[in-house]
Amino acid sequence: MDIAPNLHPIAWRKNKKVSEELPDLNWTRGLWRMETTQQLEEFISLWSLLEEVQLSDQEDSIRWKWTANGVYSSKSAYMAQFHGSLCPFKANSIWKAHAEGKHKFFPWLRRRSSPLTN
């Protein structure tokens, strides 16, 4: 219904599962009543999307991509907000810079208050 809103009203058997309708192209039943070019465009788009679907007997699983073990944590969600937003650098490099101490202190202080520090 979200992908092809103009096809949904003319489609039959709306309460079927994809796994039941996909193998024999049963999902196309009722779509012979297409009347507009918009419906035809949606049909072609839907067909190309469904060609890529590969069904399996395995149970679905959800993995959180922001942790190595795939388990969600509030810390990993918090850290994901900042992924790519700041260029990480090593705090030790501040002290090696050729600058006055007061100029080294403020970047060091900013680094200490950053949410990306461990």
Q: What is the DSSP letter of 60?
A: P
103 CB burial (10 A radius; 0-12, 13-18, 19+): exposed
What value does the mean pLDDT of the chain take? 79
**Confidence class for position 57, pLDDT limits 50, 70, 90:** confident
pTM equals: 0.45
Positive or negative: CA dihedral 20, 22, 27, 32: negative
pLDDT tens per residue, range 4-26: 888 888 877 777 777 788 877 77
Does position 45 have pLDDT exceeding 70, yes or no? yes
Two tokens, residue 37: 């070019």
pLDDT tens per residue, range 65-97: 989 999 999 999 988 888 776 566 666 666 677
Q: Where are the domains of the chain?
A: 8-51, 86-118
pLDDT in the model for residue 118:
47
Give the mean pLDDT of 23-41. Answer: 82
Secondary element (H or E) of residue 106:
helix 101-113
